[in-house]
Structure 1
Amino acid sequence: MLIQRLTRARESFWFLPTVLGVLALVAAKGVVTLDRALQDAGLTDLPLMDTLSADGGRAVLTAIAGSVLTVAATSFSITISVMATTSSAYGPRLVRNFMADRANQAVLAVFTATFLYALVVLGDVHSEGVGMFVPTVAVHLAIVLAVLNVAVLVFFIHHIAQSVQVTTLQHRLREELVAAIDAVFPTAWSTDQVDAEPVEDGSVVTSRRSGYVQHVNLDALVRRARAAEGRIDLLVAPGCHLVAGEPLARVRGDVDELTDAVHDHVATGPSRTPYQDVVFAVQDLTEMAVRALSPGTNDPYTAASALDALGEGLVMVVERAPAPRGRTDDGGTVRLVVPWPTAAELVTSVVTAVRTYALGAPVALDAALRLLGRLERSATRPSVREALHHQVLTLHDAVADGSDVVDAPDVLARLDALADALATADRPSS
């Protein structure tokens, strides 16, 4: 799928440097051609463009190319080291954030493009015979690029130091979570979004390859289902893992056409991505909290701030209507059903991690109670409040049975108050 390829390119270190490298090659040849035209026209006394000897031009270009390549190699060896340290402390999946960081990609692109530009211009410097030629404009432009590279290096050092801070990492993960929630849980359903349950009949479409479901092209599937006068019921959502041959969807209508549609517009890959996978986005912040509570890290304040960041996204989920599972065509006929996760499932995954890892960390447990309080005040749907009530009672039992809970009576009292507030199906009036 095109979207999958674009996503992989965006999260790679090669795409932007390749684009800028090609542009640098074209620019080098273009500026050298301009130099020849100016010299042929006798315009050799341009302002700020002092004439250079061939040896001088070569020395400048050689110094720029060599130093820029050295700086690029050193800078990104530091980046790899930082990625390894950060991923070991807060989770290996954070490597994807460094890979997808546009600033890191742009810095590498500028360094490599400058090297290629200087190298190409260096090849056009000739000092002997009738064809003696020194591309003065091109060499001076290389000096300008070298100055720009110094500024980029200073920016890179600042950026990499800032990007490894816990607050910056959490901010990025929180932004990804909010974006995933906006994609799956809209503030208001559009006219083509309905509540629909999957059907039990129809032909089963199996996965052709193993991997995680990374992206579902909803609009394309609706168009293909309408053209085939059928319906597609996906059996998995983004984030689910499939083994080749396992059921992927049920289709009714033109089976061959709809089977091709499913395989064309449901992308799978070796890893999960947060763009449509809300569960994965929640797990990223949850994993940061859990790792911060490990004996090797022992950083409960990072865990608390991760739970606070989770609150921003989970409050949005419980405030909004359920994710619309059905998509209709222009005539109002249901053409596609996707089993999106529910608010209860997301909250349960977080509270389960708290019960397992945070009972012995009073700072993190306090943040978890604060999160549950926010969810209680924001949830309006009876089903969500019932699920929250169950999770509060489960956490209450875990605290009551635990022997290492600090200030257990106070924690139990706060949980009792939350349970009482959630006992009703509707949100309490303020």
Structure 2
Amino acid sequence: MREVGLKTRLLTIFDGFRESFWFRPTSYCILAFPVALGMLQVDELLSAAAGHGAWFVRDASAAQKTLSFVSGTVITLMGIVLSITLVTISMASSQFGSRLLRGFLADSIADRLFGLLMGTSLYCFIILQQIHLRENVSSAFVPQFSIAAAVVLGFGSIGMLIWFVHDTSLSIQAPRLIANVAAELDSAVDRLFPDELTADDINDRGFPATEDCPDSRWTDAQDQSLSTFDIFPPADGYIEGIDLEDLTSVAANDDLVIKLRQRPGHFVCSTTPLATVFCGGQKSTEFQEQLSGTIHGAFVIGTRRIPRQDIGCCIVEIVEIAVRALSPGINNPFAAMNCIDRLGASLARLASRRFPTGRHYDSEDHLRCVAMPVEFSGLLDDAFSQIRQYGSGSVAVCIRLIEALIMIAKGCRTQDRSEAIRQHADAISAAFFGSTPADIDVQAFQRRWNRLRDLLD
């Protein structure tokens, strides 16, 4: 059997590079070599063609001092940037949770600035070494353009440091951090649920046809006397990605049906089945072991959740900010309400989208892979259940939760999703009235509750 899951693994590795702190600095350092050698070639060509004089630095000694000064300056700036970054990371993790560091590092310009500083220092070192080597051959050659470029890079590093300080002061503010995670959530919605529900997608009972239409081939397959066996994960951890195309191809090649028991974002261990394989007749132990290894290749299991295929990852990150904001130690309901607003806007965007069935067919239109589908009601639970539980004693939070449900209900077009919204509204109402609110608060809550009820009826 062929190796599967390569595309999914490459995308996961790419996400890891994008969110890491070392990738851009390493890239900039590698780039410093061709840039430095290229600038030296430019100096040699211009010197030979036009015979330009010492228009920037007078001699090799001045060139060495200039490059040494620029290199020493950017090395000092690297220490400043590293100190500011560590302090910012410490503050962000203590206030918003370590889970948010993934998005914080991906959005920060610290790695770009650090890469520019390292690349500039390495560039100066390369040019400086060339001056030392060439000084013994011809003292007349001083790379004017290369040294000028080093000075420009030095001033550019100082300018970017000012931008870094400004950006860092904004990035640790709750609204900015929440907005960044919400933007990633919106991107996941558009990537994973790109299609809008149409009238043809809704059946007579008001349910999405894609979510309430059992496949006849799957029903027939279950009625046959098929042998089945479960596939268990090779390691404990969170599912970061699944290559459904490769699983479908594997099932088609061996005339199987693979039903997934987990989806991206779920935690699995040695006793948790990843999938159940349906096949005609009994299969040998060797075949089952070989197939297990192939299916394992289609799963990427890691230590954390990532949003590439897991829309719930971004939801949980926003919820964590809200829950920590509602804790007695922080007690910042305004940050929690900001989280509720962002969750409401993103789920309103999702409410009108068509959810995939999870059924995948081969080229002959035979069912081969059944993925575990994402349900709208489950995403609502992830978004609002914990916030309601921790914020039930806050009138402002309860009212803002109802307002978020109003936003979602305006985009809702199916009965089952409306019913899920109604269940959350009832739970919020019970939590609100269980805290013995004042009459004026009851009136404010009731007005919003009536608006939501009119939208759902």
Whether these two folds match at TM > 0.5 is yes
Deviation (angstroms), 1:377: 3.1
> Which stretch of the first structure deviates more once superposed, 220-229 or 112-121?
220-229
Matched residue, 2:303: 270
Distance 1:329 1:406, change over 3 A: farther
Matched residue, 1:349: 382
Deviation (angstroms), 1:392: 2.2
Matched residue, 1:289: 322
Matched residue, 1:246: 272
TM-score (norm 2): 0.83
Is the aligned partner of 1:326 residue 2:353?
no
Distance 1:218 1:414, change over 3 A: farther
Pairing of 1:45-194 with structure 2 (within 5 A): 45=52, 49-101=55-107, 103-126=109-132, 129-132=136-139, 133-188=141-196
Deviation (angstroms), 1:212: 0.5
Higher relative contact order (CA 8 A, sep 6+): 2
Q: Distance in 2 between matches of 1:358 and 1:53?
A: 70
Distance 1:139 1:410, change over 3 A: same
Contact 2:43 2:145 in 1 (8 A): yes
Distance 1:207 1:135, change over 3 A: same
**SS of residue in 1 equivalent to 2:241:** strand
Contact 1:209 1:243 in 2 (8 A): yes
Contact 2:262 2:275 in 1 (8 A): yes
Matched residue, 2:240: 214
Deviation (angstroms), 1:291: 1.6
Question: Could you tell me which amino acid in structure 1 is paired with residue 40 of structure 2?
Answer: V
Q: Distance in 1 between matches of 2:395 and 2:329?
A: 18
Deviation (angstroms), 1:324: 2.4
Question: Could you tell me which amino acid in structure 2 is paired with residue 11 of structure 1?
Answer: E
C-alpha root-mean-square deviation of aligned residues, in Å? 2.9
Distance 1:2 1:349, change over 3 A: closer
Deviation (angstroms), 1:219: 2.7
Task: Kindly tell me the number of residue pairs found equivalent between the two proteins.
Answer: 421
Pairing of 1:322-401 with structure 2 (within 5 A): 322-401=355-434
Q: Distance in 2 between matches of 1:80 and 1:196?
A: 53
Contact 1:213 1:241 in 2 (8 A): yes
Q: Distance in 1 between matches of 2:36 and 2:151?
A: 13
Matched residue, 2:206: none
Matched residue, 1:315: 348
Deviation (angstroms), 1:224: 3.1
Contact 1:359 1:404 in 2 (8 A): no
Deviation (angstroms), 1:409: 3.1
Structure 2: tracts of 5 or more residues without a match:
1-8, 202-209, 280-286
Structure 1: tracts of 5 or more residues without a match:
none
**SS of residue in 2 equivalent to 1:125:** helix
Question: Could you tell me which amino acid in structure 2 is paired with residue 176 of structure 1?
Answer: E
Is the aligned partner of 1:203 residue 2:211?
no
**SS of residue in 1 equivalent to 2:304:** coil
TM-score (norm 1): 0.88
Contact 1:228 1:258 in 2 (8 A): no
Distance 1:131 1:175, change over 3 A: same
Q: Identify which of 28, 41, 44 aligns with 2:36.
A: 28
Question: Could you tell me which amino acid in structure 2 is paired with residue 120 of structure 1?
Answer: I
> Which stretch of the first structure deviates more once superposed, 202-211 or 350-359?
350-359
Deviation (angstroms), 1:415: 7.4
> Which stretch of the first structure deviates more once superposed, 112-121 or 346-355?
346-355
Distance 1:26 1:386, change over 3 A: same
Q: Distance in 2 between matches of 1:45 and 1:186?
A: 59
Contact 1:49 1:140 in 2 (8 A): no
1:160-204 alpha-carbon deviations (Å, 9 max, x no partner): 22222222212111111112222333324899x886688886321
Deviation (angstroms), 1:421: 4.3
Deviation (angstroms), 1:67: 0.8
Deviation (angstroms), 1:65: 0.8
Identity %: 26
Contact 1:9 1:15 in 2 (8 A): yes
Distance 1:15 1:128, change over 3 A: closer
Contact 2:406 2:452 in 1 (8 A): no
**SS of residue in 2 equivalent to 1:267:** strand
**SS of residue in 1 equivalent to 2:344:** helix
